[in-house]
Structure 1
């Protein structure tokens, strides 16, 4: 009987060790997922001005100046947002058939520029925490980073808010989603709209 009791105790002890090991692995996986999350993101913005390059009549690139935040889940399933940053985003047209939709959105961005209207636009893949948007140095190739979703199919692209004009900057590939979405300053978007307006006041 004593031997049987000891065997049972050993089995119980082993089971508890296994359970603890599984728990530890689960926690580590959860933490890792939080630290290196990935998924679609869009951009919330209040735009001050846009500059077309080489010209508005035949645009190939665009500077979008204002205050910007990244929204996890994109425009259709919005989640957490990053802290808004003031400066400019620099984009170029995508390849192929996606150019027409991008040009249409660029025209819409110019229409809302300077009005104070908060909007959402764009669609990219994102690896990292949205809260870390803007934290990566220009010279770094680490997390976080953006990915082209279409037509690039997962290629990395350099979406970043530049504080001041940088003549050496390389434009990221512009990616469309649900068009330009206007954000109300009340309801679920009230806080991010407030933060975007506050970011515009920063010099």
Structure 2
């Protein structure tokens, strides 16, 4: 068996998660917690958060590449994430599974808890650890709020509160979320979710 065949054979015995770049740190944290050394991770760009139309076609390519490399066990580290069911068509096409739920804000809280909060959170702007770390690069600069703060009302005027879904206890991230709520003129609520349904989803992957 040559080196290429050996690498393919090795990957055939492992699990590959193809995840949203927003989940990279969290997937690795859960992998470490579970001591799941058989799991590999690759990510699509976090910027697809703004272009959900790109998620399904890029995932299609990523899964095809992974299979060509030898992976037989592949898990999609995305919820629907605004694809309008298009990601499910790719998942079905390749015979793989994805994270359950409409988006990460749901599976971080747990789908049952998310559904119970539905009405109360109708006008909530969610943030996560990732979005706190990248608040400037994902919101302030792309929306031009750093140059034109008067646009805040246009973009966020219909929200009533900012809900920080915290994966970790990090005072620095808490401050970012609180400051963001003040900047956007929203009430502030912090919910510690941990990694939510990401933990059982990874725990149930084949060993």
TM-score under structure 2 normalisation?
A: 0.22
TM-score under structure 1 normalisation?
A: 0.22
Q: Which has the larger radius of gyration?
A: 1
Structure with more contact order per residue of length (Cα contacts < 8 Å, sep ≥ 6): 1
